[in-house]
Chains A and B, each alone.
Chain A
């Protein structure tokens, strides 16, 4: 029965993707194409994980990227992670590469040189995470490293070094994550409201959560009082994304139904002020879905075309990431609502 369900989901995804090919919910395997051209530094062996390069099958590489040169304090930091088989043999690997699954650890070194492992909010056990990666194929993942089991990750401005390690054996490049201090009073206050609340961090990490009342109130406050800050875009996206689907709130013991009207209002504001590719792709997908729910097929189509245009222009360098987010979002919307 479970296999049948999986096959149905699989077929549905392919339909949604317009027959995009063999892709799973958890990961996207595709022919390797260039990723974003952000500057990266090659791996330097670290004592932190006792990592030895090349211990896994020859030919596997691991890369992490960001699509932002720098972040304002409080902005969510999202990494795109890519495992690539550059060898001649098919490799058996474990995925997803997201930190919650534990196959890839994300290490963060702050300005003082202190190294710590990013602790995701959840640890997820998948039934069969093993898959075959043929030569030339890649697996993509997304790492929301801004908030986790230890709370907010980047609480101070500064330059952080981040790297990833698969199974503690295959190490990625080291990426510099630059966190800038707020440039104006509004951004400073918005950052304070974000970083001062665990619930805001949770809500942004979950991209929803009615039960986090304090977090919702603070995000609404940021969206209302500081609309010109990047923080407002994250707030609008998360609030809109939350309202686009039903939410089972066990604190009230009620299912709150999706409210596409309110969701679209938040999401349209977020769309007007793009902050990063991950959120832009999700915003367009959400809006397309929201307009469908509102019986506005023209608007839904406009959002779909808008995303396609972005995907072939400014988001083209991260086409793989766009596809990954698209697949996950499509699956999520169809499974939840």
Chain B
């Protein structure tokens, strides 16, 4: 019943929210696949959109991508790269391509992985290469000289997708490669999983066999895949999408695999599919992504196709607003009578930020509750020990949400200072990851007070620091999970690409408090 309601909600949203598509100039005349990625690269907290196409000249293909900077709440970029960036391809002919972001190494900057579904005479195969440590302009420090190859799933495809996520109990990420296989009649989706990628981007093992899901039509012109969570079950859903190609107007068609287990197998798949209006008659690639853009914390779904008119192609995308349920957190805050509450808002670089708005970018509906504000400062002027903070939490963490509400209960203690005055904050129950303390005499002025509160809550949601491992030799942090001592002057209240990967692509039990997954290197 719950699932039917969820589907109905999605349908209603699609029909009411899908607006006119947006168009971005393409990167060539012919493509053989495309993808869309939402991330954050620069010092502005608003997200970037990366549009990639697998360009198909006469001989060797190439990946070409361009970046739309700082999308507003309507999904329009403040600006687009005037020129595209080029990455050498992995073959002469492809039948699908995609891109994804992940953090593989100990450098805090993200990796970009581009993948094409290579199409030789018989068996296809997936080929990918990695761009390492993208800078704030979206340029990789280096690209793999050679591609890595993964066995394909058929002879002919009409689209491909790439997902980086984490499915098992190992903290290293999984890579899911998917192709929209094209036999004589009904197409089908086929995917296989590479387990626990090491810091070089090589999987420890790959599924010997692929998993197959019935398709959504006979002919497609692109495909994509997405991991998210749509229902109240903490296990993730997998969405597979194809850009269906009938005689005239195309359409995006997708279906949901519910509650993937740790082997990457869904409990069930939708028997039918959902439809989102297409953006043209002919395409040469498509992609799907999720991010929250507007004030409503429920993330949007973005459907993109690489439209193929007679000459220059264009990227065209549709936004389905508030399509995914937000995670809801009740943040109980208690404070000593001698300190202030965190500031309700801070204006920085012309934008106003609140705890709610910071977490809304991560698709989280955060409700801070100022619960107890007159707790006696039992030894004024002196720092509190971990043991004393432990007694604070155990005595005062007492305002949970209603039982069965599905809302997560988290806790912040606001006190004067720690025994070491150099300490700004502590997450002091790393096993269950529910509670933290912020020290108001250290986390000052107010813009740091708000930042430290958001930062410690991020730790409790299983985010580690986003600084590069070579800091303090090099590196300037700008985002919420950077360490304060590493902040550049233009730091902001946004999330790093790595943090966004965590919130949007990791299953819920990797970051939900009290999930049994302890605080670890999950960023």
A127-B388 in contact given A120-B430, A149-B431, A169-B106 (Cβ < 8 Å): no
Closest to B393 in A: A250
Is B488 among interface residues, defined by CB-CB distance under 8 A? no
In the bound complex, how far is the Cα of B483 from the Cα of A165, in angstroms? 19
Given contacts A206-B386, A206-B387, contact A125 B430 (CB under 8 A): no
State in angstroms the CA–CA spacing of A56 and B469 once bound together: 9
User: Which chain A residues in 110-163 approach chain B with CB under 8 Å?
Assistant: 117, 119-130, 148-151
Which of A2, A120, A121 is B442 in contact with, Cβ under 8 Å? A2
Decide yes or no whether B427 CB sits under 8 A from chain A: yes
Q: Which of A234-264 contact B (CB under 8 A)?
A: 246-251, 253-255
Interface residues of B in 355-410 (CB under 8 A from A): 375-376, 378-379, 382-388, 390-392, 394-396
Question: Is there contact, CB below 8 Å, between B431 and A123?
Answer: no
Contact partners of A203 in chain B: CB under 8 A: 387
Chain A residues whose C-beta falls within 8 Å of the C-beta of B429 in the assembled complex:
121-122, 149
Q: Which of B396, B419, B518 contacts A119 (CB 8 A)?
A: B518
Additional A-B contacts beyond A55-B469, A117-B520, A249-B378 (13; CB < 8 A):
A2-B442, A6-B421, A47-B198, A124-B426, A125-B426, A126-B420, A130-B485, A212-B390, A247-B388, A251-B395, A335-B419, A336-B383, A336-B419
| 8 residue pairs A–B, Cβ–Cβ below 8 Å | A5-B421, A56-B473, A92-B473, A93-B472, A122-B428, A125-B456, A125-B459, A250-B375
Residues of chain B contacted by A126 (CB below 8 angstroms): 420, 422-424, 485
Q: Is the CB of B430 within 8 A of A127?
A: no
With A119-B520, A120-B430, A151-B431 already in contact, the answer to whether A250 and B388 are too (CB < 8 A) is yes
A202→B390 contact, CB < 8 A: yes
CA distance A336 to B431 in the complex (A): 27
Cross-chain contact A251 with B472 (CB below 8 angstroms): no
Q: Please, which residues of chain B bring their CB within 8 A of the CB of A56?
A: 470, 473
Does B452 have its Cβ within 8 Å of any Cβ on chain A?
yes
> Contacts of A206 on B, CB cut-off 8 Å?
385-387, 390
Closest to B436 in A: A123
Question: Within the assembled complex, what's the spacing in Å between the Cα atoms of A285 and B452?
Answer: 35
Within the complex, the shortest CB–CB distance from B502 to chain A, in Å, comes to: 16
Asked if B420 and A25 make an inter-chain contact with CB atoms under 8 angstroms apart, the answer reads yes
List B contacts of A211 (CB < 8 A): 387, 390-391, 394-395
Output the least CB separation between B414 and chain A (Å). Answer: 13
With contact pairs A250-B375, A251-B394, A254-B378 given, residues A209 and B387 touching in the complex (Cβ less than 8 Å): yes
Q: Is B484 an interface residue (CB 8 A)?
A: yes
Closest to A256 in B: B378
For residue A227, CB closer than 8 A to chain B, the reply is no
The winner among A55, A57, A125 for most chain B CB atoms within 10 A is A125
Query: Within the complex, what minimum Cβ distance (angstroms) separates B164 from chain A?
Result: 17
Residue of A nearest to B448 (CB): A127
A169–B426 alpha-carbon span in the complex (Å) = 24
Residues of B contacting A169 in the complex (Cβ-Cβ under 8 angstroms): 106, 469
The interface residues of chain A lying within 8 Å CB-to-CB of B442 are 2, 127
Provided the pairs A130-B485, A167-B106, A169-B469 are in contact, do residues A255 and B378 lie with their beta carbons within 8 angstroms?
yes
B129 located at the interface, meaning its Cβ lies under 8 Å from any Cβ of chain A in the complex: no
- Chain B CB within 8 A of A41 CB: no
Give A130 to B475 CA distance when docked, in angstroms: 12
- Say yes or no for A109: interface residue by CB 8 A criterion: no
Chain B residues, Cβ within 8 Å of A167 = 106, 469
* Complexed CA–CA distance, A121 and B386 (Å): 9
Residues of B within 8 A of A168 (CB): 106, 469, 521
Instruction: Say yes or no: is B190 at the interface (Cβ < 8 Å to chain A).
Output: no
Q: Is the CB of B469 within 8 A of A149?
A: no
How distant is the Cα of A112 from the Cα of B384 in the complex, in angstroms?
A: 40
Q: Which of A5, A57, A122, A248 contacts B430 (CB 8 A)?
A: A122
Partner among B379, B419, B427, B485 whose Cβ is within 8 Å of the Cβ of A127: B485
Chain B residues numbered 412-457 whose CB sits less than 8 Å from any CB in chain A: 418-432, 441-442, 452, 455-456
Residue of A at shortest CB range from B456?
A: A125
Which chain A residue has the least Cβ–Cβ distance from B444? A2
B335 at the interface (CB under 8 A from A): no
Of listed B379, B392, B422, B473, residue having the most chain A CB within 10 A: B422
Give 4 nearest A-B pairs by CB, closest first.
A149-B430, A149-B431, A248-B378, A206-B387
B382: which A residues are within 8 A, CB to CB? 246, 335-336
Instruction: Flag whether B519 is at the interface (Cβ < 8 A).
Output: yes
A104 to B240, CA, bound (A): 41
Q: Which residues of A contact B484 (CB under 8 A)?
A: 125, 127-128
Residues of B within 8 A of A76 (CB): none
A218 within 8 A of B: no
**CB atoms of B427 and A57 under 8 A apart:** no
A268 within 8 A of B: no
Given the complex of chains A and B, what is the CA–CA distance between A57 and B472 in angstroms?
Answer: 11
Check if B385 sits within 8 Å of A336, measured CB to CB.
yes
Instruction: Determine the distance from Cα of A123 to Cα of B485 in the docked complex, in whole angstroms.
Output: 16
Residues of B within 8 A of A246 (CB): 379, 382
Judged by a CB distance under 8 angstroms, whether A230 is at the interface is no
Chain A residue nearest to B375 in the complex (CB): A250
Contact among B384, B394, B396 for A248, CB-based, below 8 A: B384
Contact call B391/A26, Cβ cutoff below 8 A: no
Q: How far does the Cβ of B13 sit from chain A's closest Cβ, in whole Å?
A: 38
Contact status B485-A50, CB under 8 Å: no
Is residue B156 contacting chain A, with contact meaning CB distance below 8 A?
Answer: no
CA A25 to CA B431, docked complex, whole Å: 27
B465 at the interface (CB under 8 A from A): yes
A290 close to chain B: CB less than 8 A: no
Interface centre among A124, A127, A203 (most CB of B within 10 A): A127
- A88 smallest CB distance to B (angstroms): 16
Contact A26 B420 (CB under 8 A): yes
A1 smallest CB distance to B (angstroms): 9
A127 to B384, CA, bound (A): 17
A129: B residues at CB distance < 8 A = 483, 485
Residue of A at shortest CB range from B455? Answer: A125
Interface of chain B residues 451 through 483 with chain A (CB within 8 A): 452, 455-456, 459, 464-465, 469-473, 483
Residues from chain A with Cβ under 8 Å of B419 in the complex: 332, 335-336
Instruction: Give Cα A247–Cα B486 distance, bound, in whole angstroms.
Output: 34
Measured CB to CB, the nearest residue on chain B to A255 is B378
A residues less than 8 Å from B142 (CB atoms): none
Is A210 interfacial (CB-CB < 8 Å)? yes
The answer, yes or no, to whether B199 is at the interface (CB within 8 Å) is yes
Task: Please give me the residue from chain B that is nearest to A150 by CB atom.
Answer: B431
Contact of A150 among B388, B424, B518 (CB under 8 A): B518
A-chain residues with CB within 8 Å of residue B386 when the two chains form the complex: 121-122, 206
Q: How far is the CA of A232 from the CA of B106 in the complex (A)?
A: 43
- Give the chain A neighbours of B473 by CB distance below 8 A: 56-57, 92
Residues of B contacting A92 with CB < 8 Å?
472-473
Chain A window 74-113, contacts with chain B (Cβ cutoff 8 Å), 1 for yes, 0 for no: 0000000000000000001110000000100000000000
